[in-house]
Each structure stands twice: as C-alpha cells, then as structure tokens.
Chains A and B, each alone.
Chain A
Amino acid sequence: MKHKVLEVNDLTIIYRTLEGNVHAVDDVSFSIEKGESLCLVGESGSGKSTIALAIMRALPPNAKILRGEIILNGKDLLRMDEKEFSKIRGKELSIIFQDPAASFNPLFTVGETISDVLKYKLGINDKKKIKEIALRALKEAGLPDVERVYNSYPHELSGGMLQRASIAIAISVNPSLLIADEPTTMLDVTLQAQILETLKDLKDRLGLSILFVTHNLGVAAFICDKTLIVYAGRALEYGSTEEILKRPLHPYTRKLLKSVPRIGAKREKLPFIPGSLPDLRNPPRGCIFAPRCEEAREICFKVRPKMLEYHPGHYVACHKYSEGNWG
C-alpha cells in the first residue's frame, strides 16, 4: 500500500455567529498519497477554504471543530499542542494563497523573505547555503533571472512572477504536503497555464503531494489525480478526476459539468442549476442538494445519503445509487 501523506476523517466544522451556527464543513473525509494531487472542487461558500484552514490550524476564532481527525504522516494535527504543531507548520506543510502578495512583506526583498523562512523553519544559518537553496527554489518554480528576482521587492514583480516566488517559498522547505487555495484565480489564462504546469512538474519530479482548492473543473482536470466535489459543506462525490469528469454520478456534478461553456462546443443554451445554496445555519434534513435537484424524490428530503463506493474507487452520496432506497 502507498504511503498516505494526509488523511482527513469525518471533519465537521461550524462557525459561531450571532445569527446561529454556520455548518460550514459536515462530515468530510478524503486522503492524499505521496506524489498525488487532490482537488477540492466546489462553488463559492462550499467550505473549501475552511477545510484548508483547518489543516493549517489557522481557522478564525469563531470556528469550532466538532468532530474528526486530520492525520499528517501518521500524526493527528488536531490532537497535538501548539509547540509540536509549530514544528510542522511551514515545514511539512506549506500553503500558497490566491493573492501572492499575502506571502510577502512589502518592506523586504523576495530573497530576504525566503531566507527568513529557511532560517526559522530549517534552522540553517549559513548565509551562502541559504541563498543557494533560495535560488534553487526560485528556479524550480520556473522563474527566469533568479538573481534579479531574489533582490527585488514584491511590487517590482508582476502577479505571475510573484505567485511563482510564493511557490518557491512554499517548496523551499521541502514540504510533504502543499496546500494551494485558488492560486491561479487572479491570473490570466496564459499565466494560469504556466503556474499549473510548474506545480504539476514539481509533483512529478519531487513527489510533492498537493491539496488544490478550486472552483474551476478545467483546472482540476489538468492538475489533479483525485477530486472531491463539495457542496454546502458536504462531500457529494469522490474519486479519480478522470472518472468523475468522464462518468459523473451525482446529479450536482453532472449539472455543474454541463453548465460550463466550452471553447470547442456548439453554441446551445447552457443548462444551469436553479435556486441557490441552502442556508448553512439551518441546513435541510435530508440530502443537502435535494431542494435544487431535478431528480429528488421523497426520501431525498428525509434521509441523508451516505457516501458509498459505487464503482471501485468512485464514491457518491446520492440515494439514486443505493439499492433498495430508489425502487
């Protein structure tokens, strides 16, 4: 069996607000093997960032993890103290954000920022050695002219260059898991393609494991081995990306795939999903998607469907696929 880098089991998270508890993540499970990439795909508000933040132990103070485990390389991150976790954060676990500027202090050069990270995370003090590692990471991230980038301030670099530099910081510590939360959403398609290729190359060459957060199914198709479809805090479908895109099972996934305009397709009316996300302070009793589902029957409004393995390795949470329930 392959080595599991990350295992998330039954993760359940709420946000406490004045208007009640927001059920942001409800009973979500998935795992990532070494050198594997997994995409969390879902629309706005589905809980993707909440999951990513929980793994980084960086949830806002009003969040509460009600249940679950987050196991990184055999250790449960939720059951270790801050001291133990601080050794893991930024070393075994790295993150890149949508806005690359978030990874930099505008008053320091890119080189100074990377050096700082290396000094504190890896405990290296030799200046020459640090610069050597930093320049190598910048090169690995696909940046040309690394010496100039090293000496530049963030504002002197374009958005694409800065995003590559933040990838460089994230990989410089040689993490076992890289979390990327919509890292290409703010970039142009040509830059997006470059960054995705860079990440894919790092995965293939260095055996990096990646948790990739995106709302774009095309991005998932390119970069991810596995995909977890999330909707309103719940996992609806899980499996290899190829399987899910070619043979989607859940009515939500099917509809979502059809609603994407394609450059190669004929111009026809686009199907869309009527209605909007349920109120997460008061989620529906049965299937979370039932109120918007064309195929929903009585049972869907009453009983919450379980995640079942319908084909080997392809899981779906929908009554349609559970024998006996559908008739």
Chain B
Amino acid sequence: MMIMPLLEVKNLVKYFPIRKGLTGKVIGYIKAVDGVSFKINENEVLGLVGESGSGKTTIARCILLLYRPTKGDIIFEGRSVLTLRGNLLRWYRTRVQAVFQNPFLSLNPMMKVKDIIAEPLKTHRKDLNKEEIYRMVYDIMEKVTLPKDLADRYPYDLSGGQAQRVAIARALILKPRLLILDEPTSALDVSVQAQILNLLDDLKKEFRLSYLIISHDLSVVRYISDKIAVMYLGKIVEMADSEELFEKPLHPYTQALISAVPEPDPDFFKSRKRIKLPGEIPSALNPPPGCRLHPRCPLKVDERCKVQEPPLIEVEKGHYVACWKYYRR
C-alpha cells in the first residue's frame, strides 16, 4: 500500500525576472528553482543542503505561499495548496509553520514572550478565551523547556537559545503538521545549538511532526534528518536516506560537499582526501547547459554532460542521483 505523503512538491520552478530601466522590460530570469520534486511523509524529516544561492530558501518560501511558483505544484494532505481560498487557505496556514535563522529579527520586540507565543491563537482561534489561550501558552512553553518566569519578559532579555525556543513555541502553538526550519541554529553557539537540535528531535517524536530543515551545516542536517536532498544551482542533484548519503555519496558535488566539512578531529584531516571543485559557482542567471556542474566537475566530462541535462534517477532503492555516470540503459 502506498501511504499518502504529507507534502509533495512537484516540478517546482521559480524564476525571478530581472527588469531594466524605466519601462521595466524583462531582460532575463534568475532560475532560482528549476524543476524540483520531493515528498515528505508524516513524522519524517527532509534536510535540504547546498551552496549559497542554490534555491533552498526559495523552495521554503514557495511552500509557505510567500512566493508564487512560476510552475509546478505543491500538494499538502492530498490538496493542491496553490489554489486554496478562504477557510481551506486558513487551514493550510495553521498546518504549516516556520522558524527562521535569526530569532531576534522574527520576534516583535514590543511584545511580551507570552503574547508573542499566543499571537497565532488570537488570529486563528477566535473561539478561545484569554484564560484558555494562556493555558496553552504555558503548556507549550513547558514543552520547549522555557522557564515560566520568562513569560512576562521581552525578547531583548532573552539569550539566543531562549529566543529561538520562543520562535519554536510560537510555531507549534497551532499544532501544525509540518515545520519549515530555515537555518534554525546558524545564529546560535555550538553548545546552545545542541540543545535546540535535541529539542526538535524530541518534539518531532512527541507530536509526530514532519520537518523540512535547511542548513549549510551538513553535520546539523545529518543529525536531524531522515532523508537529505542536495541542491546545486536550482536543482536537486542527489537525494537519499541520511546515513546512505553520507556513507555512499554518489554525485561528485555531494562528495565535494561532504569532504569539505571541517571536523574537530586532527586525524580526520590526515586521512581525508578532499574532493575539489575548481572555479566558482556559476550565476543562476545563466546556468551552464547540460549538467550544471560540468564546468567544475572533478570527474571525466564527456559531450553528453555538456549538452544534455542528466535526469534524477533512482539508482538504488530510495537513492536518487542526477549524473550521467550512473545512467545505464
């Protein structure tokens, strides 16, 4: 039996037009996301990694309906969300929530912690009275291990880790099914980051949540994700179960990425062979034809790599890669 995925992103495309002069004539497109598909099941975590500018945040913003996709579809619990209106749109907005990198930028500095956390309830749950609302606020504060006495404080009184827990509490108060986490620990210290990662892992189990987590830190993504998708210039180049991806990376870009992670272990660098990608990441305005990695690819590049884009194919169960090297007919 096939289980229905919680979220399905189908052939998502997002181009940003570049306009020129007073007439606003479109002179080109930034191909931020260029045909991306993936699924997230219930209680599953998908990690999205890739170089800066590869389109990770753009995907997140499309799912959150902050950007209108150029093409493609986003399906949540069986419904296409791009055409939702009225009550169904409100329903979707309660089911999917987000947590971003800088907690201080996303918290209103003029509001008390308890009111920040209560805010989504005040908009979406008009049926609740004040007492019920604050009871829920204190409940969720306990779940994210925020001490009660912080409820009446303001954001500037909080440490980075506490502020990020407030953002998580606010995201959870409507009991969503999916959390979009865009670099949720990048602004935090390592020792605090560990605490937030543990918390996210616990919350996932307790509330049967699903996450889409974006981070440039591969070890963070590896720690929390069940599946990982690797992006390069608007495309997914490889996708597999988390352990499989780190043990058997197939795509040369994934191999380069993993081999570049600095581990706090002196022997690690002695034994490791770094796979280097020469040159700089090309512009999303003019991505190279064929395989987008071909000008920098450490493998032998043949004619096909230069002209024909490799499809994302399943080379082993659940392990997808877009590279001609693995394409057999």
Contacts and interface: CB of A to CB of B under 8 A. Distances in A.
Interface string B184-205: 0000011111110110010000
Nearest to A270: B194
Contacts of A221: 262-266, 268-269
Interface string A189-218: 110111011000000000000000001111
A188 interface: yes
Interface string A242-273: 10011000000001110111111001011111
A73 B89 CA distance: 68
Interface residues of B, number: 42
Contact of B223 (A160, A190, A261, A272): A261
B262 A190 contact: no
B204 to A, nearest CB: 13
Interface string A143-167: 0100000000000001111000000
A263 B263 contact: yes
A44 B160 contact: yes
A193 B257 CA distance: 10
A264 B263 CA distance: 9
B43 to A, nearest CB: 16
Given A43-B190, A221-B269, A263 B218 contact: yes
A315 B277 CA distance: 39
Contacts, number: 114
Given A43-B189, A193-B274, A255-B191, A262 B262 contact: no
A262 B191 contact: no
B281 A158 contact: yes
B193 A189 contact: no
B193 A259 contact: yes
Nearest to B187: A44
A166 to B, nearest CB: 16
Contacts of B259: 193
B246 interface: yes
Nearest to B159: A276
A219 interface: yes
B159 A271 contact: no
B24 interface: no
17 contacts: A43-B189, A44-B160, A158-B280, A189-B260, A190-B51, A196-B262, A216-B262, A221-B269, A256-B190, A260-B194, A260-B219, A261-B197, A262-B265, A264-B246, A269-B201, A270-B223, A277-B159
Given A263-B219, A270-B194, 5 more contacts: A160-B280, A193-B262, A260-B264, A272-B195, A276-B161
Interface of B: 51-52, 159-161, 189-195, 197-198, 201, 216-220, 222-223, 246, 256-266, 268-269, 274, 276-277, 279-281
